[in-house]
């Protein structure tokens, strides 16, 4: 098995330095005559590239979706799933601690601004209770 990447440029490439990378899980086999062929097992999703980079949050979402899709395909073994995820991570780097901390900080900043405009901001104690409740809670799969 391998990942076939199909890259599409933005429709107006002269204005937007953006391309879209579609990932397909493909396997090679030989037909009845012994000729090599490829079969698409599943579509793993796409990710946008701006300039030379995949945006941080889009990287994380792409990897989460890819993992969810892989777990939905029964014909793929656990070992193959791990190998496919390794191949995806070679092209689409997972977030590092610094990026997660930055994203978390920006999200808290966004919520604070929203609450300041709309009222009803939780107390510091309520915020800490929310953070504590998320410990040990599995995320969506």
Residue 102 lies in a domain: no
Where does 12-105 show beta strands of DSSP type E? 18-30, 36-50
Residue 108 lies in a domain: no
Output the pLDDT for position 66. Answer: 96
Share of the chain above pLDDT 90, in %: 68
Domain count across the chain: 1
Output the pLDDT for position 122. Answer: 85
pLDDT digits (tens, 9 = 90+) for 93-131: 999 999 999 998 999 899 889 988 998 888 889 888 888
pLDDT digits (tens, 9 = 90+) for 63-100: 999 999 999 999 899 999 999 999 999 999 999 999 99
Residue 8 lies in a domain: yes
Q: Is the pLDDT confidence value at 14 over 70? A: no
What's the CA gap between 22 and 40, in Å, rounded?
13
Residue 6 lies in a domain: yes
Which residues are within 8 A (CB) of 2 and not within 5 positions of it... i.e. 6 or more apart?
Answer: 25, 26, 27, 28, 87
Output the pLDDT for position 140. Answer: 53
Share of the chain above pLDDT 70, in %: 94
Output the pLDDT for position 130. Answer: 84
Residue 7 lies in a domain: yes
Residue 48 lies in a domain: yes
């Amino acid at each position: 098995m391998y990942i076939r990447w199909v890259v599409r440029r933005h429709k107006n490439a002269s204005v937007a330095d953006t391309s879209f990378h579609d990932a397909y899980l493909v396997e090679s086999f030989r037909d009845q005559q012994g000729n090599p062929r490829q079969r698409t097992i599943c579509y793993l999703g796409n990710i946008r590239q701006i300039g030379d980079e995949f945006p941080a949050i889009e990287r994380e979402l792409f990897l989460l979706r890819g993992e969810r899709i892989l777990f939905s395909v029964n014909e793929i073994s656990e070992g193959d799933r791990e190998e496919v995820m390794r191949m995806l991570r070679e092209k689409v780097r997972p977030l590092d601690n610094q990026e997660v901390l930055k994203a978390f900080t920006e999200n808290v900043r966004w919520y604070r601004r929203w609450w300041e405009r709309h009222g009803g901001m939780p107390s510091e104690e309520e915020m800490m209770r929310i953070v504590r409740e998320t410990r040990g809670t599995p995320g969506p799969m």
